[in-house]
Structure 1
């Protein structure tokens, strides 16, 4: 199959390139715009309590709201507010409401702080558009207008915070981060390829081709998002850049290393590309298949942003795979060996002294290599025992100096930390009859006595008398671990003490974060095993074995554990962070488990190829490391360095993500693929390929040009199954 693809593309390179260009123009020109959503509550399905509570609030108390934006006032000299200052705040609040800013539904005064130094204006926005770009723009307008009003003859200073303002500040931070990530990615790929090949054209080529694939992938993602009514989270765009260019460069390298090898073995240039696609096409397709399946497994997630991220990244990898088997071979075959100009090193095989030595080490001492590399992974994995998740997405995705973060910090000090996002307990009648108001005070008192609660009071009862809203103010900021623990205790008390004939639902941001935590834990138990099983199926089909997939997926699992453990030790232990971003293990799973499998597949496929040429298991492992090692090292370095650019973004979320994924890719390439996997395969020997005989030398059926098992004759390009020898004396 892959040989036929190679033949078709190499025979018609111009038509292949033209087809890609036409498809790119058509898709980009007609694709819908990609929507975006940063509202945490939209992550969850409606079955969760926090979402049920939000729906009940809209029905029972349509005029009640959790402020989307909060204007925080204080005197410029830091003193307590005077009577004149308070009148100015009231006037500004009224004038702000009269401006009828888009998305703004209500502007009301808030409570002053107990020390008299701060006052508030609370702004309600359309809850249906929470997290949408239009509310981000509304927050920017609101910030500009309130500052303009304060500047007119007052002694006040004002800053705008709240979820909408945080989204606006996040957007500014993410634009800077995306620019740095994009520039860093380009520079790393360009410089590394220049060092490897010493050929300017070859260094620029993948950037141009993957840029074209990126445009196609983004258009297809937009189509899929609209077709399946998905919501794009703002973090996807940064990850998509890295995935496309990281994975695309991997596949480019897999193909170019094998193309160069075939040229050195004496193949005519066009035939060299056909043979390269034939030899490495199955490994690329299998690697991409494992990544796509792992990403699609996220469709089983209960979290909205993962449901969107999984299919989006799967589409990107699928487009990259097709380009790797068609567009890249077409362009390179059209250029020919001139693609390596001005370097002449492609004409003869280097000694690969380092990788040859590593290969000999694995060949001679596979047990020692397996134990040593396995111990490294196990020791690093011990750090996972200290993992703690944090849900403060706002402070995690932008610097503390951003205006909305300054507001959050000052409100925590001036008010109860939970005042900016209070928890609401909704007590509603199950039979439609009015509630007995006599028990409200006692119920609120029990809620107020919960550990971690600063106060609890009856706020309002709906006009039918069937639903009561008890506002519970926590002692802690809504996204902290202590607030999430406290809201769990509030739920227990609220449910246990709800009067007969009533139902209690607990809402608010802390409740949402609690449910997100439960959803993430559900996903760990569902998505991870399903993805692992499907990846094992891919490996089994590639290797025609039921043994090898087990230790390959086990090694990938160890790599995941080692990566999470190292990240915990660096950020939680060494730097004193309270926890890591809650979605980090899922992101690590996406890249360390899925993409890290690429290198295992490439190495094991090469090991099988060497074994089929008649080498015993240990020699095959040594030769596989010698010849596939440079490819894995180059691809692993570029991908790890590419993800490391995320650490330039300047916020803890992308810093943690950048370190974790780059470290995980490095472990996958330089520990698992180079040492752990080949040494284990060498130790297990022929049994690794049971029940098939994937490592047995193929025998040719007389006069057919094919092996007796029906597969294409492997080495030669003359159709007779002869074994070509390169100048270094190794088999082609």
Structure 2
């Protein structure tokens, strides 16, 4: 099949290129804009209690809501606010009200905090009408622009935080991150390809081609989101950049190495490209299939975040795969050997002494290589047991120096930790009659006694008297593990148990949302991980015609995942002292490390099988596979790890953690697992690795004549 694809593309390269350009023009012209959201609650399905609580609040108290923005004031000298300072804050609030800023409903100054270190103005805004609605961010911009004039000639300083301000800062941070990541990714790819091929044409080829493909992929993702009402997290755009350029460059590398190999065997450029597609196509398609299936397994998630992330990345990889097997061969078949200009190094096979030495050493002592590499991964994997999830996506999507983050921390100087985003307990009558007023006091008293609760406000009744809202201020910050424990355990159990007969209690608020997200993620771990693993094993079994090989390949990749998580915990939690890692990190790591780790395993084992089919014993086959496939795996792993490492330049904790974890995982799977552990285990198992088939034994008609010392270089 892949040979037929190669022949068609090589015979009609102009038409293939024109078709891709036309597709790009059509998608760019008609696809909707890809938008993102940082609203954690929007990712949860409706059966969770926090969402039910939000629905009760919307029905009973449609005008009540946590302020969209909070303006925090403090003295420049850090001292207590004076009466004159407090009066100035009230005057500023009135002045801002008089400006009648669009989409601001109310501006309400509050008294100074009990210790008089801070004072706030609560700003209510019109509800956001969707992820693309810029009304609230625009209102925050106006507020921030107006503050300096209002603070002139006073002893006060101020800043804006709250949900709307965090969303604005997240957008700005995301836009800057996309530029930084894009420049770093493209720059790294160009530099590394120049070093590998010494050709500016090949160095620029992925940038031009994948730049075109990315427009098509982004448009297709936007259409899919619109068609299936999917919500995209703000980090997806940055991840799309590195996925498209990283994975796309890998596939181009695999194809170009094969193309160069066939040229060295004496084939003309067009025949060499057909051979390259025929020989590398199965491995590339299988590798991409593993990645796509791993991503699509996320559709089984209960979280909207993962439901949309999986298809988005799957579409990106699928588009890249098709381009790798059609557009790249079409362009290269037109250029022929000029694609390597000005270097002539493509004519001569390098000696590859380093990888040859590694291969010979592993062939002599495969048990030692398997034990040492496996033990190293196990040591790192132990640290994964200390993983603590962090559920604050909003602050994690901005830099620590952003105004919303800085003033959110300043706010804690004067208010209890939980006062920034209080929880709510809603008590609803199920009988159709108003709530019994004489029972509300006792119910509040029960909530006050809950461990971890700082204070409980007096109940606010809905106009019909059928719903009461008890505002609960937690003793700990809303995103902390202690706050989540309070809501998940004693607060919810007490709220439900103490509810009077004929009533139902719902615990809501951002902490309750995090609790439900944690429950959803735990459920997804038990469903998505096994399903993705089984489907990838099926692909491996079909590719390798073996029952044994998929098992140890997946076990090694699983060990690589655990080692990667352990390394990330070691660096960020133990080394940098962060309280936890972003909660989606294990799922993202699992998919990238497992899927991409399987890519490199497929390439290495496929080459090992090819060497065995030429009559080599298992150990010699492993040695030759490392010699010839090692440079390709190393180059691809270095480029892919580097592109994901560029996420660390974004300046926010979410992408920094993702960038480190994924790049570290790729380094582990490429340079430890694929180069050492997998070949060593395969060499030890010998023919058993291919049971019950005989994939390592070829018919005489399938075996090529020996190619000589320059005959082969890459997978």
Which segment is superposed worse, 166-175 or 316-325? 166-175
Q: Does 1:564 find its partner at 2:546?
A: no
**Is the Cα contact below 8 Å between 2:547 and 2:692 reproduced in 1?**
yes
For residues 252-302 of structure 1, the C-alpha deviation after alignment (integer angstroms, 9 at most, x for no partner) is 000011111111111121111111111110000000000000011111111
Paired residue secondary structure (1:256): helix
Alignment of 1:57-456 (within 5 A): 57-129=57-129, 132-144=132-144, 146-147=146-147, 150-151=150-151, 155-456=155-456
**Is the Cα contact below 8 Å between 1:44 and 1:302 reproduced in 2?**
yes
Q: Distance in 1 between matches of 2:529 and 2:686?
A: 29
Cα distance change, pair 144–345 in 1 and its aligned pair in 2 (3 A): same
Paired residue secondary structure (1:418): helix
For residues 537-589 of structure 1, the C-alpha deviation after alignment (integer angstroms, 9 at most, x for no partner) is 11111111111111111111000000000111111112221111111111111
**Is the Cα contact below 8 Å between 1:348 and 1:727 reproduced in 2?**
no
Tell me how far 1:218 sits from its aligned partner.
0.9
Tell me how far 1:598 sits from its aligned partner.
0.6
Please list every run of 5 or more consecutive structure 2 residues that lacks an aligned counterpart in the other structure. Answer: none
Cα distance change, pair 693–351 in 1 and its aligned pair in 2 (3 A): same
Q: Distance in 1 between matches of 2:511 and 2:682?
A: 49
**Is the Cα contact below 8 Å between 1:181 and 1:238 reproduced in 2?**
yes
Tell me how far 1:482 sits from its aligned partner.
1.5
**Is the Cα contact below 8 Å between 2:544 and 2:690 reproduced in 1?**
yes
Q: Distance in 2 between matches of 1:399 and 1:36?
A: 18
Tell me how far 1:94 sits from its aligned partner.
3.8
Q: Distance in 1 between matches of 2:132 and 2:85?
A: 34
Q: TM-score scaled to structure 1, two decimals?
A: 0.94
Tell me how far 1:179 sits from its aligned partner.
1.8
For residues 641-688 of structure 1, the C-alpha deviation after alignment (integer angstroms, 9 at most, x for no partner) is 111111112222222111111110011111111111111112112222
Aligned length: 713
Q: Distance in 2 between matches of 1:601 and 1:292?
A: 15
Paired residue secondary structure (1:577): coil
Paired residue secondary structure (1:217): helix
Q: Distance in 2 between matches of 1:447 and 1:142?
A: 40
Q: Distance in 2 between matches of 1:523 and 1:472?
A: 30
**Is the Cα contact below 8 Å between 1:39 and 1:130 reproduced in 2?**
no
Higher relative CO (Cα under 8 Å, sequence separation at least 6) belongs to 2
Q: TM-score scaled to structure 2, two decimals?
A: 0.96
For residues 76-107 of structure 1, the C-alpha deviation after alignment (integer angstroms, 9 at most, x for no partner) is 45454444444443343344345443433333
Tell me how far 1:408 sits from its aligned partner.
1.2
What residue in structure 1 maps to residue 500 of structure 2?
A: 499
For residues 223-278 of structure 1, the C-alpha deviation after alignment (integer angstroms, 9 at most, x for no partner) is 11111121222110000000000000000000011111111111121111111111
Q: Distance in 2 between matches of 1:132 and 1:501?
A: 42
What residue in structure 1 maps to residue 635 of structure 2?
A: 634
What residue in structure 2 maps to residue 707 of structure 1?
A: none
Q: Distance in 1 between matches of 2:433 and 2:423?
A: 25
**Is the Cα contact below 8 Å between 2:86 and 2:112 reproduced in 1?**
no
Q: Distance in 2 between matches of 1:453 and 1:149?
A: 40
Which segment is superposed worse, 687-696 or 633-642? 687-696
Q: Does 1:654 find its partner at 2:655?
A: yes
Tell me how far 1:70 sits from its aligned partner.
0.7
Tell me how far 1:10 sits from its aligned partner.
0.9
Q: Distance in 2 between matches of 1:437 and 1:476?
A: 30
Tell me how far 1:37 sits from its aligned partner.
1.2
Paired residue secondary structure (1:46): coil
**Is the Cα contact below 8 Å between 1:264 and 1:726 reproduced in 2?**
no
Which segment is superposed worse, 135-144 or 116-125? 135-144
Cα distance change, pair 729–41 in 1 and its aligned pair in 2 (3 A): closer
For residues 46-86 of structure 1, the C-alpha deviation after alignment (integer angstroms, 9 at most, x for no partner) is 11111110110010111211111111223445454444444
Q: Distance in 2 between matches of 1:210 and 1:714?
A: 36
**Is the Cα contact below 8 Å between 2:235 and 2:655 reproduced in 1?**
no
**Is the Cα contact below 8 Å between 1:150 and 1:156 reproduced in 2?**
no
**Is the Cα contact below 8 Å between 2:426 and 2:507 reproduced in 1?**
yes
What residue in structure 1 maps to residue 463 of structure 2?
A: 463
Cα distance change, pair 144–396 in 1 and its aligned pair in 2 (3 A): closer
Q: Distance in 1 between matches of 2:97 and 2:539?
A: 59
What residue in structure 1 maps to residue 626 of structure 2?
A: 625
Which segment is superposed worse, 83-92 or 287-296? 83-92
What residue in structure 1 maps to residue 550 of structure 2?
A: 549
Cα distance change, pair 731–176 in 1 and its aligned pair in 2 (3 A): closer
For residues 108-159 of structure 1, the C-alpha deviation after alignment (integer angstroms, 9 at most, x for no partner) is 3334311234322212233453765414533433423541662476554331
For residues 14-46 of structure 1, the C-alpha deviation after alignment (integer angstroms, 9 at most, x for no partner) is 111111111111111111111221111101111
Which segment is superposed worse, 670-679 or 681-690? 681-690
Tell me how far 1:413 sits from its aligned partner.
1.7
Paired residue secondary structure (1:108): strand
**Is the Cα contact below 8 Å between 2:261 and 2:713 reproduced in 1?**
no
Paired residue secondary structure (1:359): helix
Q: Distance in 1 between matches of 2:428 and 2:677?
A: 59
Q: Distance in 1 between matches of 2:711 and 2:173?
A: 55
Q: Distance in 2 between matches of 1:611 and 1:335?
A: 34
Paired residue secondary structure (2:468): strand
For residues 360-380 of structure 1, the C-alpha deviation after alignment (integer angstroms, 9 at most, x for no partner) is 122222222211111111111
For residues 146-205 of structure 1, the C-alpha deviation after alignment (integer angstroms, 9 at most, x for no partner) is 416624765543311101101111222222222221111111111111111111111111
What residue in structure 1 maps to residue 20 of structure 2?
A: 20
